[in-house]
Amino acid sequence: DAYSDVSLEYFDGAWRFTAGLPASVSSLPAANASQQTWTIAACIDDGLRPDRLPIGCFGKDLEVTGACCGHAPASVEIGGATASAVRGEYRRRENFEGRPAYAKADASQFLFYSDSLGGWQISTGLGQGGGMSHPDVRACSPDRLEGAWQSVDPRLGQMQPVELAILGHPSPPWVMLSGWPSHLEDFTGEFRLTDMTCGGRPVYMLPSSDGSDSTNASAFASIFYEAAAGEWRVVAGRQQVVAAGLGPEAHRPDDVWEWHLLEGDTCAAWPDLAAHVFRPGPPALLVSGRRSKVSSAINGEYVRQVRDVHGRSAYEKPDGSKRFFYSQKHAEWQIVGEEGGVLAYCQDPHTRDPSRLRKPWIVGLAPDKLVRTEVLPLAARLKIWLAPSRQWQG
């Protein structure tokens, strides 16, 4: 049974979470009035702000944070004239020292706030200094910092401003779950972003076919984060949990590592089930403007591929000779040849739709302001040709 009337209060030199005993226990004859409450967790500290207590004070599985942690974006993008190792997308992870923390997908760089280090930091280790820092201690989220980032100039031994910009990305407008077993295929569809949050994370809803909030399990479902259990859930109707994925570090459902199906009293891992989110980008691109003999082959049509690369749309020429995709490692859009060599690149990590790149392409070693990418218009009609010697089958 669940505890009732959970409260957080300070007494006898400690902050304590207390709760009423479950009904099945409190109703027993031995349970008198003095035994009706129970201390769930305690933190021995004289601080007057429970959201500023030392990390781990209540134990490794319980943390009290300020309200600002719930309003930070699920991912941020770092751009600017800084080193390529720093540029790129950072996904949100567990809070650190009471504020949201972020890391690159390969954990090569971390973005976090540290009281002991005096502000926001970008470094190769969570909780470690030595990289870039920002003295704005008021901002709850790194995309709201005011002023310039700084780093130590090794030649002068002094702090110097760094040209760096951080852009917060909103939650994806929809999420799709694929890989359901045949009897649950009704849950394959677009779960649309709502204006609600749960546990500080977005809530998605799969509407019924007529758009109403029907409680029919096969026609209405939602995806949300259940903070008490530390997991994302797919719920049919109002109560039936269909699938769940453990993810206290996952601030978006597509970050869940593994989903489990719940049917009756059984819970089994289902590796085929995966969440996908909307990736901006047209179905085809046209690259033009390269006039030099060197690397002029980058010009041409590129068709979007089924599989994204590093969380963004990826393209390829119809003959497979060139590929167009986003490099997470270098924080830039690249056009590469068949051997994998980079022919051209555009250092515009903030733009997720490659048809709207704002910075110039660098071809070889020099920028070429004439190179551009644009949407390849869809054909108004299709002409299908069939050799006279062949016949349609089926």
**What is the per-residue pLDDT across 145-160, written as a single tens digit (0 to 9) for each?**
988 999 888 787 788 8
Is pLDDT above 60 for 135?
A: yes
Q: What's the confidence (pLDDT) of residue 31?
A: 45
Quick one: tokens of 342?
Answer: 């980079």
Q: Residue 185, Cβ neighbours under 10 Å: how many?
A: 12
> Which are the contacts of 182, defined by CB distance < 8 A and separation ≥ 6?
none
Query: Of 239, 247, 173, whose CA–CA distance to 204 is shortest?
Result: 173
Q: How confident is the model at residue 66 (pLDDT cuts 50, 70, 90)?
A: low
Q: What's the confidence (pLDDT) of residue 375?
A: 95
Quick one: tokens of 311?
Answer: 């969380």
Q: What's the confidence (pLDDT) of residue 3?
A: 54
* Cα angle 390, 392, 394; round to 5: 140
Quick one: tokens of 123?
Answer: 């470094």
Quick one: tokens of 212?
Answer: 């109403």
Query: Of 143, 184, 160, whose CA–CA distance to 82 is shortest?
Result: 160
DSSP tag of 25 = H
Q: Does 23 or 114 have the greater pLDDT score?
A: 114
Is the Cα dihedral 227, 228, 231, 237 positive or negative?
A: negative
Measured between alpha carbons, how far is residue 364 from residues 293, 341, 353 in Å?
12, 11, 23
The whole-number average pLDDT for the span 169-182 is 88
Q: What's the confidence (pLDDT) of residue 196?
A: 85
Is pLDDT above 70 for 81?
A: no
Looking up tokens 């997308």, which residue turns up? 89
Q: What's the confidence (pLDDT) of residue 337?
A: 94
The whole-number average pLDDT for the span 60-66 is 66
Q: What's the confidence (pLDDT) of residue 21?
A: 62
Percentage of the chain exceeding pLDDT 70: 86
3-class DSSP state of 255 = helix
Is pLDDT above 80 for 390?
A: no
Q: What's the confidence (pLDDT) of residue 105?
A: 81
Is pLDDT above 70 for 180?
A: yes
Q: What's the confidence (pLDDT) of residue 167?
A: 87
Q: How many residues does the chain have?
A: 394
Quick one: tokens of 284?
Answer: 């085809």
Q: Which of 100-109, 181-190, 271-280, 313-322 has the highest mean pLDDT?
A: 313-322
Q: How confident is the model at residue 22 (pLDDT cuts 50, 70, 90)?
A: low
Q: What's the confidence (pLDDT) of residue 28?
A: 46
Mean pLDDT across the chain: 83
Looking up tokens 């719930």, which residue turns up? 70
Q: How confident is the model at residue 291 (pLDDT cuts 50, 70, 90)?
A: very high
Asked if residues 140 and 148 have their Cβ atoms less than 8 Å apart, the reply is: no
Q: How confident is the model at residue 237 (pLDDT cuts 50, 70, 90)?
A: confident
DSSP tag of 201 = E
Asked if residues 30 and 21 have their Cβ atoms less than 8 Å apart, the reply is: no
Percentage of the chain exceeding pLDDT 90: 34
Q: What's the confidence (pLDDT) of residue 335?
A: 97
Buried-exposed string 306-344: b where 16+ CB fall within 10 A, e elsewhere: eebbeebbbbbbeeeebbbbbbbebbbbbbbeeeeeebb
Q: How confident is the model at residue 24 (pLDDT cuts 50, 70, 90)?
A: low
pLDDT in tens, 203-231: 999 976 554 544 444 447 999 998 888 89
pTM over 0.75: no
Is pLDDT above 90 for 264?
A: no
